[in-house]
Amino acid sequence: MTDRKATLSVGDKSIELPIYSGTVGPDVIDVRSLVQEGVFTYDPGFVSTAACESQITYIDGANGVLLHRGYPIEELAENSDYLEVCYLLLNGELPTAEENKHFHDTIKNHTMLHDQMRNFYQGFRRDAHPMAIMCGVVGALSAFYHDQMDVANVEQREITAHRLIAKMPTIAAWSYKYSIGQPFVYPRNDLSYAENFLHMLFGVPCEDYQPNPILAKAMDKIFILHADHEQNASTSTVRLAGSTGANPYACIASGIAALWGPAHGGANEAVLDMLAEIGDEANIEKYIAKAKDKDDPFRLMGFGHRVYKNFDPRAKVMAETAHEVLTELGLENDPLLRIAQRLEKIALEDDYFVERKLYPNVDFYSGLILKAIGIPTSMFTVIFALSRTIGWFSHWNEMVSGDYRIGRPRQLYTGEKAREYPKK
Catalytic residues: 305, 363
The amino acid that residue 129 corresponds to is: H
For residue 271, give every residue at least 6 positions away whose Cβ sits within 8 Å of its Cβ, in sequence order, or none.
Answer: 301, 302, 340, 363, 364, 367, 368
**How far is the C-alpha of 28 from the C-alpha of 340, rounded, in Å?**
41
Beta strand 57-60 pairing with 65-68: antiparallel
CA atoms within 13 A of residue 418's CA, in its CB half-sphere: 0
The partner residues of 60 in beta bridges, in order of sequence, read: 65
| Parallel/antiparallel/unpaired status of strands 71-72 and 57-60 | unpaired
Distances from the Cα of 114 to the Cα of 146, 186, 418, angstroms: 14, 11, 54
Q: What is the DSSP-derived secondary structure letter of residue 248?
A: H
Element (H, E) at 20: strand 13-20
Q: Looking at this protein, which amino acid is placed at residue 77?
A: A
The span from the CA of 398 to the CA of 390, in Å, is 12
Which residue type does 97 have?
A: A
H-run or E-run covering 38: none
